[in-house]
A and B are shown apart, each in its own frame.
Chain A
Amino acid sequence: ILNVEQSPQSLHVQEGDSTNFTCSFPSSNFYALHWYRWETAKSPEALFVMTLNGDEKKKGRISATLNTKEGYSYLYIKGSQPEDSATYLCAFKLGYKLSFGAGTTVTVRA
């Protein structure tokens, strides 16, 4: 079983504040690290796919960094908005296998 861990499990953010949370994964045999956004009653949708140590990806106010040597990735949300409320999942890809963490549920309060 691939150990993909996310913390915290949930967090509440005031609208306009910035936040970040962590995904940790096995640092050996790295292949790829994915981030997905999952809104209630919908299906997960990909935010980022990261493959290289030091990768930084950005989409609007959301960005992610990757450290494959120490086995962690951060997701940042800048200036949180209510529409950012969702569960954010990271997934570790090893060969053909794609294993997910339990997610961080973000609630943005207006």
Chain B
Amino acid sequence: NAGVTQTPKFQVLKTGQSMTLQCAQDMNHNSMYWYRQDPGMGLRLIYYSASEGTTDKGEVPNGYNVSRLNKREFSLRLESAAPSQTSVYFCASSEPTENTEAFFGQGTRLTVV
């Protein structure tokens, strides 16, 4: 049972390059999330998707776009990477009910030089 799978695990980009972070879950969850983790700041919500076909901005959406491709997959795209986007990115999924936890992928460490 894979749970939440993120690819790639590591990536180095040059400023201005674009890339897409992939996330897939096999738990049949409706809701999916993208977070970034920076030292001393916990997890900050970038975008979330309540269900297939819907996406909403989180707390720090600028510079990112997302696609909820189907129920399993939720991708995060950086169109023109900036050094400020150097971070560890986590994808998570859950059911939208109030009493269910979120499950996290293993993270993607992105460095923009």
Q: Give residues in A with beta carbon < 8 Å to B.
A: 1-2, 6, 9, 31-32, 34, 36, 42-46, 49, 51, 89, 91, 93, 95-103
Query: Which of B33-65 touch A at CB < 8 Å?
Result: 33, 35, 40-45, 48, 50, 56, 58-59
From A9, A31, A43, A98, B94 is in contact (CB under 8 Å) with A98
Complex Cα distance, B58 from A84, in Å, reads 31
Q: How far is the CB of B2 from chain A (nearest CB, A)?
A: 13
Bitwise interface map of B from 74 to 111 toward A, beta carbon under 8 Å scored 1, else 0: 00000000000000001010101011111111110000
Q: How far is the CB of B6 from chain A (nearest CB, A)?
A: 9
B31 within 8 Å of A (CB atoms)? yes
Given that A1-B59, A51-B98 are contacting pairs, would A97 and B42 also be in contact in the complex, using a CB cutoff of 8 Å? no
Q: How many residues of B contact A (CB 8 A)?
A: 28
Contact, CB under 8 Å: A99 / B59 = yes
Q: Which residues in A have their C-beta under 8 angstroms from that of B41?
A: 102
From A2, A9, A49, A95, B101 is in contact (CB under 8 Å) with A49
Residue in B closest to A34 when the chains form the complex, CB atoms: B101
13 contacts between A and B (CB under 8 A): A43-B90, A43-B104, A43-B106, A49-B98, A96-B31, A97-B45, A98-B92, A99-B45, A99-B59, A100-B43, A100-B44, A102-B41, A103-B42
Complex Cα distance, B30 from A37, in Å, reads 23
Contact, CB under 8 Å: A97 / B104 = no
Q: How far is the CB of A46 from chain B (nearest CB, A)?
A: 3
Q: Which residues in A have their C-beta under 8 angstroms from that of B92?
A: 98
Complex Cα distance, B104 from A36, in Å, reads 11
Q: Which residues in B have their C-beta under 8 angstroms from that of A101?
A: 42
Q: Which residues in A have their C-beta under 8 angstroms from that of B100?
A: 49
Residue in A closest to B44 when the chains form the complex, CB atoms: A100
Q: Which residues in B have their C-beta under 8 angstroms from that of A89?
A: 42-43
Looking at A9, A31, A89, A100, the one whose CB has the most chain B CB atoms below 10 A away is: A100
Residue in A closest to B39 when the chains form the complex, CB atoms: A102
* Sample of 4 more A-B contacts, CB < 8 Å, known A44-B102, A46-B103: A36-B102, A44-B43, A51-B98, A96-B96
